[in-house]
Structure 1
Amino acid sequence: KFVASGEVIKFDGFLRVYLEGTDDEDAENESAILPPVKQGEELIMRETTATERYTQRPYRYTEASLVRKMEELGIGRPSTYAPTISTIQQRGYVEKRSVEGEERTYTVVTLKNGKIKDALKTEITGADKNKLIPTDIGIVVNDFLVEYFPDIVDYNFTAKVEKDFDKIAEGKMQWNKSIADFYKTFHPKVEETMNMRTKRKTGERLLGVDPKTGRQVSVKIGRYGALAQIGTADEEEKPLFAPLQRSQSIETITLEEALRLFELPRNLGEFRGKEMVVGIGRFGPYVRHDNKFVSLPKDADPLEITAEEGIALIEAKEKEEKEKTIKTFSEEPGLRVLKGRYGPYISFEKKNYKIPKGLNPEELSLDDCRKIIAESGKNKTKGGKKRRKSSSKK
């Protein structure tokens, strides 16, 4: 059964002038793309093409499209849109970034002159540019709220609350009654959830079995972020853990990708007689050399980085440190006078101290620096706790 669909222009109006005035021959042929057809008319099949298609996932939101969706659902007000979107980013539930697409193949089957031909073609799928992408922790938090507080995260509930706020602003509803009505159902639900001692949500996902050890491989949210795990807590042998890379997610990572993470930390060789080791830590991938850590660029893969690239990163970091160093002291190697974003400062024992105005940082002695550090400590404790200001209406 074949169906033809399209448009046939009955009155072309200005289009007749436009088409006749153009030099594009194809434009005049546009009107012949779909000639009028009648029901029951016999058609001769010259060529038939069938193209394999995949279901497209919903598009990711930008800030603008998310605001439009919130308006459509009646969530929030113009004054709350920006703070809401900013808050979910600050809490690490979503992050604005671009995602490189993956190449995949699809099949095109053509029937012509009684012969069928198959052709493989490729396309890029999953690419996003400057979109709001949910993080692993964001997905886990959402799943928890949907499971235990479905009424609170329901769009209709939020829209109803917004309408109640409007009524309160118009004097048609008492704010304390609105809060009381909400709290009398919300608080018992919180108590119930806490008393249930709900299992900590980790978003755990089983990937398969490690072919070398036969142990289970899974990914989940840990104390410091997403990680891969070989083995389980109830086994005699302790589980092995490896943090996921920035570009990886517990929802999409494969077994092969997870197993490769256990190749880290990886020895790159020696530089100046000391080992270079690449790994992934709490703050992302790094190269460690001489007890110093150098962060890898966002586009660098710790599993692929070479010794030459590691050396280049170390030397670049040393150059950067040298350029921002104003003064050091051989008697106190851990104390340095540095250039900062907001002016020169003293760095000592992982703490920074502001240099008072009027002092030349290049002329500071070790005793001067120690005095500034000591005075800084006194100023923080001087006067004790600040009293909260209170005002009373007479």
Structure 2
Amino acid sequence: MKKNLVIVESPSKAITIEKYLGKDYKVVSSKGHICDLATSGKGGLGIDIENDFKPTYRVSKEKKDVVKELKSLAAKSDKVILASDPDREGEAIAWHLARELGLSTEDNNRVTFHEITKPVVLEAIQDPHKIDMDLVKSQETRRMLDRIIGFKLSKLLQNKIQSKSAGRVQSVALRLIVEREEEIRKFKSEEYWTIGAEVKKGNSTFHAELTKVDGKKPKLANKEQAEEILAKVQDQPFVVSSITNRKKSKAPKLPFTTSTLQQESSTKLGYGARKTMSIAQKLYEGVDLGGTTTGLITYMRTDSTRLSDLFVQETENYIESEYGSDYKGQAHKKNSENAQDAHEAIRPTSINYTPETVRPYLTNEQFRLYSMIYARTLASLMADAKFNVTSVKFLDNGCEFSASGQVLIFDGYSRVYSKYEKQTDTLLPVLKEGEQMNRVEIKGDQHFTEPPARYTEAKLIKELEEKSIGRPSTYASIIDTLQKRGYVTLDKVSETSKTKYFQPTDQGELTNQKLQEFFKKIINVEYTAEMEKDLDNIADGDEDYIQFLKTFYADFEPLVEKAYQDMPKKELERVGRTCPDCGGELVYRNGRFGKFISCINYPTCKYTENADDSLNELEKEEKICPECGNRMTIKKGRFGPFWACTGYPECKHIEPLKAKAKPEPTGEKCPECGHDLVRRVSRYGKSFVGCSNYPKCRYIQKAPKAKKEEEASETSTPTEQTTQES
């Protein structure tokens, strides 16, 4: 008996959805994109620019078996339903699947799931629609832009200055980081002073700050000016001149978008953007809740703060039942100008899935992220927090001092969100107008203006979103790319600091300098933001994508030609030795995994060696490959140096540089499955305690508080993003 075939992106999602749909459906995964632009044709672009930018697609090498299996299943099925993710990338995947499987784009064979729950999946499967070709054109245009800019600029920079790559959004993000560093270098610190009073009444002590002198805001640039004011107020009456009482409300924050989730996860949980999206993906695709698999959050790639009417009603009833009618607020929606609003905000699929009820089924990282998403969504529909605020002014010989205090009188949304917001009451004693304060200590404090802070990951993401650069779904891969290319580092500025900041490397600054010198018209914030609007217009069917590409290319290609002509080539740094194979000079080059030494006559001579002297000493051991007998050499890879056979690619034998340490038993048992706990070393050299039953049990023992976040980050394994910039 034939079945209906449903194709989704993720294998874990396929398992969950097949359980919902029952025996008449078979659900399989495409494992993300199956096609990409070919690397053939003029310039290896896979785009026929002279023929209206006609793209050529090829099934990815690693996906050929997947596509073969999908074709076989499709031929045996009554109907094929394309259920890739509900965004532009997902729409493009559905279109590529339709092309490869011989499906018509005029048929209603496309469904989207905004959350992986049984009612939503069953409802969606009954309402299929056509593939949205406007969304496909928008994604295709973005991909071609990234290919043209990425390939052409990368090839140029590799040839001229040995930089590894450039990209439409990547290079603008690099520009922001470099410009901030330049601001810091140019900044000149200036001295200024403030004058404050410590006032005591009874057992209460509070602070008042000098705000006016003879009715004007004071400007105290040095110690002499501060001492002049202090001389006026010392031993003078400190009198209460006015007291103002008012009520203040504080509204809850809006539900999470992709960007705000990444920012808050970074600052509150210590998770990077890629790690956050990896955890969120698992929560979206489905978690086994004791025999029933269900998605716990809605789709996590969204720029909308909208919540569905059904969810709002369900949550309002929950708030009234759990906290009382006084705690009911209202749904707020404030999307950015550039928001697509294709999906809801990131929210729990049901308000009844409280963090406490699902905790037994989640890893620690999943629980922490889900708890924050749940609390943020619930709080967004609760009433404002209310405060009594008191402002007091004091006069002392023509000098006005101000103090303020506030008291929480109704907790409102903070009842559930106080864990993620710092809120403390500032109390003032009971005061009366005309009252003279006798116990007052007044002093001046010296300060110096500080330069703007470097970007943290959260601040950079916020800046990219506010300036409409790229899409939030791509921020994680952009940040990763900048670090992998060696353009920036993300480090703590001191041993005592817990926060990591971006700093450009010398190569990053050189790359930005050359891009700004020759491509300032293209690689800038305004142009990139305007391009996002054009892509949105294409998605809405309001702009012709071929004409858009023609206009872009007419601006871009002359800049490339001029750069090839005028950009000077960076001289390779000489090592001071000759190549043992051909006698040419040895030079330093930058490779995918860092600096290395090679022959200046490359590619005619392919001799290489490590730039690290300690590795060269180790290589003198003349290690022999146990499989083919060839000499082994030390290569650098993604996770550091390793031994590799020189007979590659015929022999692919490799060995770790050092023997992998065996897990060391701790004598304790895993609280989740009962197996032994062992001490391991992560691929980054960090020590941690985990379950010996890994990967079936992924329990990791909490580190001491000071190291907790760092080690949690080091032991995660993020999944690959489906959207990457060239």
- TM-score (normalised: structure 1): 0.40
- TM-score (normalised: structure 2): 0.23
Pair member with larger Rg: 1
* Higher relative contact order, chain-length normalized (CA < 8 Å, sep 6+): 2
